[in-house]
Amino acid sequence: MQTTQEHVRGIRKSRQRQAAAGLGWFSLALGTGLVLAPRPIAEAIGVRATRRVRNVMRAVGFREIAGGLGIFSSGRRAPWLWARVAGDGIDMALLGKALGLGRTDRSKVRLALASVAGIGWLDAAAAYRLGQVELAHTRGTVVTQAITVNRPPDEVYAFWRDIENLPRFMAHLESVHVKNGVSTWRAKGPAGFTFEWEAEIVEDRPNEAIVWRSRKGSEVDSEGSVEFRPALSGRGTEILVALRYVAPGGALGVALAKVFGREPSQEIAGDLRRFKQVIETGEVVHSDASVHGGPHPARPDPSPSKRREVPR
């Protein structure tokens, strides 16, 4: 089932891809016209349709067709839109040169130049927006976990909404402080390092969901959501957590985090088990094997070499 954050981002991506598709169809239509009918189009923009001009226009047409096909055939459309932006620049340069040719209707060329500039702006805006959405879907590590607790959704939501409670069960968090609607998070990293960043809540639906993200320029780039749903049994609450993050230090940071046990995909499940204990009993029961990552009196090492015979 989709999380709230994934749903919101999916809608944004769908809208931007629809805008890109519109530009793709425009490329195909314009390119086909330039290839099949360069003479009337040249006359429409005020340029004398010499053989050289017609050849140039056909070349531009083939470029437009290739760009349109690229938009529809590629999983990532933003690079093809940026290619259109580059093509718009070339077209503007050609029209600028056409202003100096003889027997040119300069008013029509200037109108065509303004039109290409407007299309270029649309291409650039669409490329940037879609690029941001596609990047958000591909950057970083995505972690999803779920757990059911024996408490009603309103109580569970209220505990999470007071985000200064989070360090009580999130082992990697040292502190969370809120001031003027902005929270400052301080977390333990691998090898004794600590990281600090600011985050803000971007969607808040009481008793249903909370969506947050780190502020621009933060040391840690992350976003996530937590949803609260009545359990199917009719008792308790199902909690669904989705987290996307880019580890400080990139791939090296991820590798170090895994080595030292500070990588979120290793910790979220444990955090949720600890939350279950806190919300149901008021404290973390440290004797429970579920809250320990390795061998522990409550979780003996299962390997045969580590077992000892019990004296009879």
pLDDT tens for residues 61-104? 999 999 889 888 766 777 888 888 898 999 999 998 888 877 88
The two tokens of residue 214 are 């780190």
pLDDT at 61: 92
Residue 307: CB atoms within 10 Å: 10
Which residues, 6+ apart, have CB-to-CB distance to 268 below 8 Å?
143, 145, 241, 243
Which of these CATH numbers, 3.40.50.720, 1.10.1060.10, 3.40.1410.10, 3.30.530.20, describes 140-293?
3.30.530.20
Give residue-wise pLDDT tens across range 148-187: 999 999 999 999 999 899 899 888 788 999 988 888 988 8
pLDDT at 2: 47
Between vectors from CA 168 to CA 216 and to CA 184, what angle results, nearest 5°?
20
Alpha-carbon span 270 to 288, nearest angstrom: 11
pLDDT at 33: 93
Handedness of CA 79, 83, 84, 89 (dihedral sign): positive
The two tokens of residue 74 are 């590629």
Token pair 């500039």: residue: 117
The two tokens of residue 34 are 């330039």
pLDDT at 300: 47
Alpha-carbon span 121 to 135, nearest angstrom: 21
For the chain, which residues make up each domain, given as ranges? 4-137, 140-293
Q: What dihedral do alpha carbons 54, 60, 66, 68 form, nearest 10°?
A: -110
Which one-letter DSSP state was computed for residue 296? B
CA 285 → CA 16, 149, 277, 280, distances in Å?
48, 15, 7, 11
The tens-digit pLDDT sequence of the chain (312 residues) is: 444 445 445 545 566 677 788 888 999 999 999 999 999 998 899 898 889 999 999 999 999 999 889 888 766 777 888 888 898 999 999 998 888 877 889 899 999 999 999 998 988 888 777 766 555 554 556 778 889 999 999 999 999 999 899 899 888 788 999 988 888 988 876 656 677 888 888 889 999 999 888 887 776 777 888 999 998 877 899 998 887 766 554 444 444 444 444 556 567 888 899 999 999 988 766 544 444 444 444 444 444 444 444 344
The two tokens of residue 73 are 């055939």
pLDDT at 98: 87
pLDDT at 263: 55
Which one-letter DSSP state was computed for residue 180? T
Which residues, 6+ apart, have CB-to-CB distance to 118 below 8 Å?
none
Which one-letter DSSP state was computed for residue 309? P
